[in-house]
C-alpha cells in the first residue's frame, strides 16, 4: 500500500509541476523573463510563491525547464523534417538491393542502376 501512496504523491507532484510550467509559460510570454515574477507565476498557477520553491529553485529554473522542453520539441521537428527529405538509411535499402530478381525481366529498366 505504501508503494501506491508514493506513486500517487509522485503523480500529484508531477501534475502540480505541469500546472506551474503552463502558468509560467503564459506569464513569460506576456511579461518576458525580466518582467515575470514568481508571485505572478504562482498566482496564475493557483499556488503560493512558497509552493513553487518545492518544485523549482527560481524563476530562472522554471524558464530553463520551459526552454529545455521547447528546444527538445524543435529538435524533434527538425529531425522529422529532415527525415522526410532524406533517403532511407542503407540498412533499410539493403533488403531491396538483395532481393531475388524477377525472371520475367529480359532487360534492365532504363534509369535503374543495379
What is the tens place of the pLDDT at every residue in 60-102? Answer: 999 999 999 999 999 999 988 888 887 766 666 565 555 555 5
- Asked if residue 104 is part of any domain, the answer here is no
- Whether the pLDDT of residue 114 is over 50: the answer is no
Non-local CB neighbours of 43 within 8 Å, separated by 6+ positions? none
If you search the block for the grid coordinates 530478381, which residue do you land on? Answer: 101
Average the pLDDT over each of 16-20, 23-27, 92-96, 99-103 and give the range with the smallest value.
99-103
Mean pLDDT of 29-51: 95
Question: For the chain, what is the radius of gyration of the CA atoms?
Answer: 26
Per the structure, how many domains does the chain have? 1
Question: Is residue 11 situated within a structural domain?
Answer: yes
Is the pTM higher than 0.85? Answer: no
- Owning domain of residue 74: 2-97
Phi/psi for 103 (5° steps) reads -75, -10
Instruction: Kindly state the percentage of the chain with pLDDT values over 70.
Output: 75
User: 61: how many CB neighbours lie within 10 A of its CB?
Assistant: 13
Neighbouring CB atoms inside 10 A of 84's CB total 7
The neighbour count for residue 69, using CB atoms within 10 Å, is 12
Residue at 110 is within a domain: no
Q: What per-residue confidence (pLDDT) applies to 83?
A: 82
Q: What's 70's domain CATH number?
A: 1.10.10.60
Amino acid at each position: 500500500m505504501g508503494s501506491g501512496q508514493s506513486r500517487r504523491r509522485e503523480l500529484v507532484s508531477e501534475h502540480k509541476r505541469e500546472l506551474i510550467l503552463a502558468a509560467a509559460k503564459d506569464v513569460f510570454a506576456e511579461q518576458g523573463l525580466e518582467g515575470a515574477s514568481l508571485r505572478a507565476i504562482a498566482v496564475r498557477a493557483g499556488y503560493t510563491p512558497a509552493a513553487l520553491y518545492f518544485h523549482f529553485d527560481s524563476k530562472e529554473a522554471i524558464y530553463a525547464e520551459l526552454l529545455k522542453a521547447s528546444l527538445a520539441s524543435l529538435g524533434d521537428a527538425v529531425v522529422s523534417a529532415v527525415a522526410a527529405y532524406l533517403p532511407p538509411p542503407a540498412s533499410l535499402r539493403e533488403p531491396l538491393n538483395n532481393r531475388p530478381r524477377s525472371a520475367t525481366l529480359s532487360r534492365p529498366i532504363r534509369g535503374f542502376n543495379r
